[in-house]
Structure 1
Amino acid sequence: MAAELSPIDKAKFVAARRAVDLIEDGMRVGLGTGSTAAWMVRCLGERVREEGLKLVGVPTSARTADLARQVGIDVVALDEAKWLDITIDGADEFDPALNLIKGGGGALLQEKIVATASDQMVVITDASKEVNHLGGFPLPVEVIPFGWQTSRALIEELLDSMDVLGRQTSLRLNGSEPYVTDEGNYIIDLHLNRIGNPRQLALVLNQIPGVVENGLFIDICDLVIIGGTDGKVEIRDINEGSVAHDTIEFAEEENIFRDLD
């Protein structure tokens, strides 16, 4: 039941519900990964079941693919879809220019590939993810397992010349073992506190041997939808330079909540 959701989940839900209103019949849709994106996938599945909406989804992780199939969304690979009309995903942080840090869920590589293969990227979030400067959330860097400690040392050396407040790094773990991405890689999290020049950092990190991709999404997001615990949403369009507001009404009980784990 909607009434049983925590305030943060209500904010995520209303942002997701508003975002899926952007989906039209026949679209090819990138499906993000993470707790907020999972709300979007469920909301989109509800439209597919109740309205007969026809679309194909390109998931950004194995777990998103599993959820999409469970709620009735047709799933295809990006190479089959080729180009997408829209991608909807969450973010760990976003700044006033709608630059993002993503990858807290470990899917940053597929998320970035899918987002950049889309006409439009929409981020759904709550107000807690908005920051003046990126870097409070650890920045994920995906590296291949071979020589990962060398890659980490090179990253730490690079950070000495970057405009950041912190320079600690850590290997992401799953229990006592390294966390492994869908592509079989490791993630090194950079604890930077504040990133003075995200664009520069994104470029130079990817020059380090062994680095596959980093979680800085620069000039990729077009629209951010910020959900509130009261059902209100704010929609910021970076291309139009506009800000709009809406309110999402939901009943005390919705179909979408019935099969939540």
Structure 2
Amino acid sequence: MSGELSPIDKAKYVAAKTAADLVEDGMRVGLGTGSTAAWLVRCLGEMVREDGLKIRGVPTSTRTAELAREVGIEVISLDEARWLDLTIDGADEFDAELNLIKGGGGALLQEKIVATASDQMAVIADAAKEVSALGHFPLPVEVVPFGWQTTQTLIEELLISMDVMGRKSSLRMTGQRPFITDEGNYIIDLHLGRIGDPRQMALVLNQMPGVVENGLFIDICDKVIIGYGDGRCEMRDINEGTVSETRLDFVEDDNLFSDI
């Protein structure tokens, strides 16, 4: 496997494999969305099939649900689970305080609902996702389709009074049509460059009529697990104030992800 993976994919795999070890028998686990989270789902599926791990997963998107079922994880709804022991997800950016930007895959609403319904949230990421200040990655804002252009205009007017570098916004598209979330909404991406006060930004955006949710995850993440292409993995726990490092040795004939 290691000979076929790029350094960035190795980093994602290392982070996912390390995060999978946080999952214990009997847990109700939130399963994130995105390329790094997909590695986690496959790692957990292997543990279910080969080690007899018994967990119930609550996916944050339809595509994660499909993958989880495919690899043998029991899938339930959040209403069935009611509360989760742990959510593991990726991030588009994270800062030193483990605040996040998420939503590059378009599942930010379900991701935030699931993460806040969990005892703990762990983020898996490669080192490139760490930033000194959030905002280089476009901030997704999920909006209802009705009057979305008016909502976009109001958001741009709001940004004039905010501590940001840029104020451009764009409707996320799929080909010639607007991208549609699992909840039937649109996403407006904000190209801000830098967000001076992410907490204020998150609060103000969510007060605007037409806005459903934004991609700033503030005070939600408990751990970040950072993978590196050489097999190293660093885990930071913001609650314990600890940093630990491990190393994963790649197995050449490992075909766990041969279909990716």
Q: TM-score, normalised by structure 1?
A: 0.99
Residue type at the aligned position of 2:174: N
Residue equivalent to 1:56 = 56
State the distance in 1 between where 2:2 and 2:245 align: 21
* Shift in Å, 1:187: 0.1
Aligned-pair distance for 1:48? 0.4
Q: Residue in 2 aligned with 1:134?
A: 134
Counterpart in 2 of 1:82? 82
Aligned equivalents of 1:44, 1:174: Cα separation in 2: 31
Structure 1 counterpart of 2:20, one-letter code: V
Partner of 2:257: 257
Residue 155 of structure 1: aligned partner: 155
The amino acid across from 2:161 in the alignment is S
For residue 253 of structure 1, report the CA deviation from its aligned partner.
Answer: 2.1
Aligned pairs (5 A) from 1:1-261? 1-258=1-258, 260-261=259-260
Shift of 1:125: 0.2
Question: What is the CA–CA distance in structure 2 between the aligned matches of 1:43 and 1:22, rounded to whole Å?
Answer: 12
Equivalences, count:
260
* SS, match of residue 120 in structure 1: strand
Q: Contact between 1:46 and 1:255, CA under 8 Å: does it hold in 2?
A: no
Q: Name the SS of the counterpart of 1:5 in structure 2.
A: coil
Q: Secondary structure at the match of 1:157?
A: helix
Asked if structure 2 preserves the Cα contact closer than 8 Å seen for 1:20 and 1:44, the reply is yes
- Specify the SS of the correspondent of 2:43: helix
Q: State the SS of the aligned residue for 1:8.
A: helix
The whole-number CA distance in structure 1 between the counterparts of 2:26 and 2:121 is 17
**Runs of at least 4 residues off by over 6 Å:** none
Instruction: Tell me the distance in 1 between the aligned counterparts of 2:8 and 2:39.
Output: 12
Paired residue type of 1:46: E
Residues 32 and 60, structure 1, Cα contact 8 Å, conserved in 2: yes
Q: Secondary structure at the match of 2:118?
A: coil
Partner Cα separation in structure 1 for residue 4 and residue 222 of structure 2: 32
Local SS of the residue matching 1:72: coil
The AA in structure 1 aligned to 2:180 is V
Q: Take 1:126 and 1:31, find their aligned partners in 2: how far apart are those partners?
A: 18
Q: Give the C-alpha shift of residue 205 in structure 1.
A: 0.1
Q: Which amino acid aligns with 1:177?
A: R
User: How far apart are the structure 2 equivalents of 1:219 and 1:145?
Assistant: 29
Q: Provide the identity percentage.
A: 75
Distance 1:174 1:127 in 2: 28
2:30 and 2:2 mapped to 1: Cα distance?
26
In structure 2, give the amino acid aligned to 1:53: L
Q: Do 1:3 and 1:253's aligned partners in 2 also have CA atoms closer than 8 Å?
A: no
| TM-fit CA distance, 1:2 | 2.6
* 2:69 maps to amino acid: R
Native 8 Å contact 1:226 1:234 kept in 2: yes
Residue pair 1:90, 1:123 contacting (<8 A) in 2 also: yes
Q: Check the 8 A contact 1:141/1:189 in 2, yes or no.
A: yes
Q: Residue 169 of structure 2: SS of its match in structure 1?
A: strand
| Residue 91 of structure 1: how far off its partner (Å) | 0.2
Shift of 1:10: 0.2
What root-mean-square deviation, in Å, do the aligned CA atoms of Structure 1 and Structure 2 show?
Answer: 0.6
Amino acid at match of 1:160: I
* Superposed displacement of residue 37, structure 1: 0.2
Listed as ranges, the gaps of 5+ residues in structure 1 are none
Shift, 1:3, TM fit: 1.6
